[in-house]
Amino acid sequence: MKEVKDFYDSWNPNNFPKYMKCIINFADKLIFEELKKLIKTIVNNENKDNKDFLVLDCGCGYGAFYNLTKDFNTIYLDISLNLLKKFKIKERKVCGNILNLPFKDNTFDLVLCINVLEHVDYLKSLNEIHRVLKNNGHLIVVVVNRDSLIKEEIFNDFKIFHKPLSYKDFEETNINFKIVYLSSLYYLPPIFKIFPPVFLKIILKYWKPLDKRLSKIFKNRGQFLVLNMVKE
Ligand SMILES: C[S@@+](CC[C@H](N)C(=O)[O-])C[C@H]1O[C@@H](n2cnc3c(N)ncnc32)[C@H](O)[C@@H]1O
């Protein structure tokens, strides 16, 4: 199994098989819509100009979720220099480690951490994020869900170290975060992978509203867990 950094240094979605691109695209859209809603609520409650709202996209990769944060004053951090080079923006990119963030205490209003904590020591990472957040600052986490109904671990295809987390892992830490929002999404059965990409695309189009319904019925049992936590 490859080291996490080596794995992501050579991560190139353009080389993935078509079925995988369709599925990643589908999951990213679900995540995007969920986080857009969450961020809007957070920002509306802050009463601040977008440009005064300081955001850290921690483990930003090549910027798949850039459109979520482009209107704010956002710093993009990742451990992989290669991925940062692929990220289309020129400024505000930092090569660094979530376990030792190169920022002062109490800096950010919001930290996003999308599909990163499953690859690292999540408690150390949460401590670091807590340190760099302002008091009452928000952390939004998306992570592979250990309590998922579908026991297909998303990263199994990639042979990379990952440890799915459960809601309890966040609830039971002694780090001063209050969980203010919890949901999950992505109820796609692995069997869909066998369909040829043309059909897969059509199936996924119709699966999207169903996924939203399943998220309401089977609360917190989707393959991705979404949390919004506030620094106390
Ligand atoms: C699954 S990708 C997610 C990328 C992006 N957040 C997204 O959702 O498209 C995981 C990312 O975490 C980054 N990463 C892994 N370990 C890290 C660490 N210790 N510090 C910072 N970033 C890390 C990887 O380089 C990779 O870009």
What separation in Å is there between the alpha carbon of 144 and the centre of ligand 1? 13
How many beta carbons lie within 10 A of that of residue 209, not counting itself? 9
* pLDDT-wise least confident of 68-82, 90-104, 138-152, 153-167: 153-167
pLDDT tier at 84, thresholds 50, 70, 90:
very high
Which of 56, 78, 122 has most ligand 1 atoms within 8 Å of its beta carbon, as the pocket-test mutant? Answer: 78
Confidence check: pLDDT of 173 > 70:
yes
Q: Which of 10-14, 49-53, 106-110 has the highest mean pLDDT?
A: 106-110
Sign of CA dihedral 164, 113, 174, 225: negative
Ligand 1 proximal residues by C-beta, below 6 Å: 4, 8, 59-61, 64-65, 78-80, 83, 97-99, 114-116, 119-120
pLDDT of residue 161: 79
- For 142, phi then psi, to 5°, come to -120, 130
Q: Are 168 and 161 in contact (CB under 8 A)?
A: no
* pLDDT band per the 50, 70, 90 thresholds, residue 155: low
Q: Domain count of the chain? A: 1
pLDDT at 1: 52
- Enumerate long-range contacts of 203-208, CB under 8 Å, 24 or more apart: 204/22, 204/23, 204/26, 207/26, 208/26, 208/29, 208/30
* pLDDT score, position 67: 98
Which residue CA neighbors atom 17 of ligand 1 most closely? 79
Convert the pLDDT of each residue in 107-141 to its tens digit.
999 999 999 999 999 999 999 999 999 999 999 99
Q: Which atom of ligand 1 is nearest to the CA of 80?
A: 25
Which atom of ligand 1 is the closest one to the Cα of 61? 27
Range of the domain at 37: 4-231
Q: What's the gap in Å between 47 CA and the centre of ligand 1?
A: 30
pTM, to two decimals = 0.96
Residue of 6, 8, 95 to test ligand 1 pocket, by largest number of atoms within 8 Å of CB: 8
